[in-house]
Amino acid sequence: MSHSSRTGTLSRKTQKETETTVYRQLDVDRTIETLKRLCNRISERFPNSGLGCVAEDLHAAAGETRREISWISRPHYPTRTAVSLFLLILVGLVAFSFAELKQELQGERLTVSFLVPLIEAATNELLLAGAAIVFLFGIEARVKRTRAQRVLHELRAFAHVIDMH
């Protein structure tokens, strides 16, 4: 197999993957535009029908979904500020603990019986601080994920209602 034929195969594969990816994503503006056209068609053909009400509700939900997507995609600065303040307090507490320990140990002779509990306590404090940091850095993602799941649940409910119609 020549080099050029392998390159052609790779470029065709990449092009196909790109085309597939484009068709697997929804454009919110075009979806809302399509839903508006659908609402108009249904209301013209079936005035005062239940399906028309469902279509209008779906169009309204699409607008709300656009706002939710916008909120989810932006950084949430109040959460980040609260996390940063908490982390600053946490680092301050750890630094204060080590400063107090250093002052307490000043002039004392360190023995193994004294060092073992000291190392254990310091290790526990650092592990708990690390766990708190990991938890705090994930708060914003969890809040956004919860909102996204709520929106998806609502859209899934619409899909079931439309499927029944």
C-alpha atoms less than 13 angstroms from C-alpha of 126 in its C-beta half-sphere: 7
| Alpha carbons 131 and 90: distance in angstroms, whole number | 12
- Give me the percent of the chain exceeding a pLDDT of 70: 86
In the chain, DSSP finds a helix count (H) and a strand count (E) of 6, 0
CB 147 within 8 A of CB 79: no
Please indicate, yes or no, whether the overall pTM of this predicted structure exceeds 0.85. Answer: no
How far is residue 3 from each of residues 6, 8, 9, 10, 131, measured CA to CA in Å? 5, 9, 10, 11, 51
Is the predicted pLDDT of residue 7 greater than 60, yes or no?
Answer: no
Q: For residue 5, how far is the Cα from the chain centroid?
A: 42
| Alpha carbons 125 and 97: distance in angstroms, whole number | 9
**Span 43-69, pLDDT tens digits:** 899 888 888 888 888 889 888 888 888
Instruction: State residue 109 phi and psi, 5-degree precision.
Output: -85, 130
**Span 95-115, pLDDT tens digits:** 888 888 788 778 777 777 777
